[in-house]
Each structure stands twice: as structure tokens, then as C-alpha cells.
Chains A and B, each alone.
Chain A
Amino acid sequence: MPEFEKIEYRPKPVRELLLEMKNLSELMIDLAYSAALFNDKDLAEEVLELERRIDTLAYLLDMTIMIAARDAEDAEALAGVAKVAGATDKISDAAGDIAMIVKQGIGIHPIVAEIFERVEEHIARVRIEEKSILIGKKIGRLNLAARMGVNLIAIRRGKEWIVKPEDEEKLMREDILIVRGAPAGINLFKELAEGRRRRIGG
């Protein structure tokens, strides 16, 4: 049986709690599909860790909402918040289910690769090669989303996974990045990471 932590009330604004739940739940879907596509158990483990995090946040949010409601009007407005938070929790559980397929070694039929070739947004695993101009660059400064429609969702550095890297994080040689975006942007990013393209803009 898994261990369940006791969750004690800590004052934290509803806005922060819900924001984190929403952001994490969406990130988790991408990470979980990546874990499935690349059959990566460590990444699946990261997803399951995030799922536990969301469970904790869901408890804290419930408690906060209960304290915040003073009258019927409050309760009506906050019921909507609880419902949305519940949905993010459900989305994270769904992502967790994908991760479990990978973790349990069931695996997914190889045609999954073809599936991911054909979905609108592509997911790719890209390695930063020695010659790449991206080495030493801060992620925030690269402006990948605005420039080429690419989102960096996780970095594998040695044995560590850095999920949702901060803007200040610098890219290093041999980092393995999981990126998501429009196919043309992903190709451009690959060329940069592999050192085949020397300029980011233009």
C-alpha cells in the first residue's frame, strides 16, 4: 500500500493553488505522452511524483475554500473553483495512468511512434551537441515560444530530470531536452541543438 502523507492546512491563496494545479496538470499530459513515446521509466516516475503533488494541492485548496466561504453567495462562486480544481486533478490522474503503463513495463505498441508523427503538436527529444550555440544560454533569453513556437518542457541532465525548467536555467552540453510545438519550429530547434544552424533569429 502506498504511503499517504498527512496534509496540514497552510495558508496559501486560492489563486496560487489553482494556478499551480492548472499549470502542472497540463505539463503532466505532455510529460506522460513523452514517457510513453520514448518508453522512459524515469520520466514516468517524475509524472507520478507530480501527481502526488497535485493531490496535496487539491487537499489544500479544498481546505482553503471551506475557510473562505462565508455565505451562500460565496459558496456558489467557490463551488465553480472546486469543480475546476477537481478537473485539473482528474487530468493529472489521467497523465498518471499513462505513466503507470510505462512504469509497469506494459509498454505501448510501436505504432505509437507513428501516432505522434501525425498529431498537431509534435513532441521531440533533442540532445544539445558540443557545437551547439545554445550551450550556456539561459532558457528565458532564448524566447523559444515566441520565436519558433517551441516549448521546452523538461531537461534530462545526467541522471536528473528537470521538469518545467526556470527561465534562469542555462542549457548545457549533452542535455537532453523534451520539447513540444509546431513541426517546423521543432525542426529549427533541432538544427540549433545539433549545431547545424548557427543563428537563432532570421
Chain B
Amino acid sequence: MQQDGSEGFNRIVEKFVELKNTSELMIDLAYSALLLNNRELAEEVQRLEEYVDKLHTEYEMAVLLSRFKEEEAKGILGLIRLGVVTEEIADAAAEIAEVVLRGIEPHPVVRLVIEEADETVTYVPVSESSPLVDKTLREARIPEETGMWVLAVKRGEKYVRPKPDLRIDAGDVLIAFGYAEGEEDLRRLASPSS
């Protein structure tokens, strides 16, 4: 099956964007799982790993089906290799998550390292007085305001994926990552002290 050139390229872009975002999200989630010693997050990483495998195949198909010209062959090879890399990153994240799933209580040094790293993972509860309550994640503009990215939202016992349309409730716990400097800002935003 041949595809129209631009439509084919659009598909490649779409798949790769998803691959890159997911593989990087997985690393952060895997470290979160380790920090919190949390099986659910670790299982989510494993699920995402399977998703990435599937996505990677679709991406490679999209690249191969694009009607590229001969002089584009090298650039196309570059695209294929880039895809392999995202898959490798996802694998590495799955390995980190595996430590949690094996029920090994990792050495306390691991937790220290995650907390001290330049980019840290943190979790903050949303209090009723927070300006975030009732806003969608898109409206809340958390990355712009604090430099922190929300990885997952814990609602009751469940972890919810942070889709832009997700409305924040009081009592939610935001699991976020970013440079350590942003942590305080996020805390202030989510749980302002009265």
C-alpha cells in the first residue's frame, strides 16, 4: 500500500512524538515508582513498555511506507535509528520499574539519589484552598508556573494519566517531576498555607 507523501510523513511525525513523549515519561514514572516504592506506578511503566513496543512497530511501518526519494534514504535511516533509541529508553525504564515489582526494598541510597538529583520527583497534595481546584491541567499551566511537569495524578487509590482535560480535585495528589527549584513553587500552588 502506497501512501500520499505528506500524509505518510504526518503519520511518522505523530508516531514519533508519541514514542518520544512516552519513553521519557516512563523514565520519570519509573523513578517515581522507586522513590515511593509503589507497585501500581511500576506496573504502569510495564504496561507502557508494551505500548511502546507496539507503537515502535507502527512507527517503523509508517517510515517504511512513506514514499521517500532515493536521496532521502540516509535521512530515513536516521529516523529508523531514532525510533530504536526511544525503544531502548523505554526498556531501561522498565528495568528500573522491575526492581519495585520484584519486591526488593532497594538500598536507601537509591531514594536519596532520586531526591537529590537535579531533576527530582515529588508528590504534593492539592488542598481545598488551592487555586488549582476545578481547573483542568491545561488551564492550570503548571509547567509554566513552576517548571514542574505532572506525571500522574493519584485520586483515591487510583492513578490517573494527566491528560490536559483532566480536572483537578481537592484531595488529589500530584506526582510531578522537574528541577528541584520548582518543587517549592508547586507545593505553594497546590497546598497554600492559610
Contacts of A185 in B (CB 8 A): 143-144, 147
Q: Interface readout for A55-80 with B: 1 if CB under 8 Å, 0 if not?
A: 00000000000000000000011111
B interface: dominant SS: helix
Chain B residue at smallest Cβ distance from A185: B144
Residues 142-188 of B at the A interface (beta carbon under 8 Å): 143-149, 178-179, 181-182, 184-185
Among A129-137, A143-151, A170-178, A190-198, the stretch that binds chain B is A143-151
**B13 at the binding interface (Cβ < 8 Å):** yes
**B105 in complex: contacting residue of A36, A77, A119, CB < 8 Å:** A77
Cα A87 to Cα B31 in complex, Å, equals 11
Q: Is the CB of B104 within 8 A of A146?
A: no
Contacts of A87 in B (CB 8 A): 30, 92-93, 95-96
Cα A6 to Cα B187 in complex, Å, equals 46
Q: Is the CB of B181 within 8 A of A90?
A: no
Contacts of B109 in A (CB 8 A): 14-15, 18, 81
Q: Interface readout for A111-146 with B: 1 if CB under 8 Å, 0 if not?
A: 110110011110000000000000000000001111
A167 to chain B, nearest CB (A): 10
Count of chain A residues with Cβ under 8 Å from any Cβ of B? 57
Chain A residue at smallest Cβ distance from B106: A80
A interface: dominant SS: helix
B54 to chain A, nearest CB (A): 19
Contacts of A184 in B (CB 8 A): 141, 144
Given contacts A90-B95, A101-B81, contact A146 B182 (CB under 8 A): yes
**A162 at the binding interface (Cβ < 8 Å):** no
**A108 in complex: contacting residue of B78, B182, B184, CB < 8 Å:** B78
Cα A110 to Cα B141 in complex, Å, equals 31
**A98 at the binding interface (Cβ < 8 Å):** yes
Cα A111 to Cα B149 in complex, Å, equals 26
Cα A81 to Cα B105 in complex, Å, equals 10
Given contacts A19-B116, A87-B95, A119-B20, contact A81 B147 (CB under 8 A): no
Q: Interface readout for A76-117 with B: 1 if CB under 8 Å, 0 if not?
A: 111111011011101101110110010000111111101100
Q: Interface readout for B37-57 with A: 1 if CB under 8 Å, 0 if not?
A: 000000000000000000000
A148 to chain B, nearest CB (A): 7
Given contacts A86-B95, A90-B95, contact A148 B104 (CB under 8 A): no
Cα A121 to Cα B104 in complex, Å, equals 33
Contacts of A36 in B (CB 8 A): 78, 82
**A29 at the binding interface (Cβ < 8 Å):** yes
**B72 at the binding interface (Cβ < 8 Å):** yes
Contacts of A143 in B (CB 8 A): 181
Top 3 closest A-B pairs, CB basis? A109-B75, A80-B106, A108-B78
Having A111-B13, A146-B181, one finds 19 other A-B pairs with CB under 8 Å, namely: A23-B117, A27-B118, A77-B104, A77-B106, A83-B96, A84-B110, A87-B92, A90-B95, A91-B92, A94-B88, A98-B82, A108-B75, A112-B78, A115-B20, A118-B13, A121-B24, A145-B178, A146-B179, A149-B148
Measuring CB to CB, which residues of chain B are less than 8 angstroms from any residue of chain A?
9, 12-13, 16-17, 20-21, 24, 27, 30-31, 34, 68, 72, 74-79, 81-82, 84-85, 88-89, 91-93, 95-96, 98-99, 104-107, 109-110, 112-114, 116-119, 141, 143-149, 178-179, 181-182, 184-185
A-B contact pairs, 7 of them (CB 8 A): A19-B116, A29-B24, A87-B96, A94-B89, A106-B74, A148-B144, A148-B147
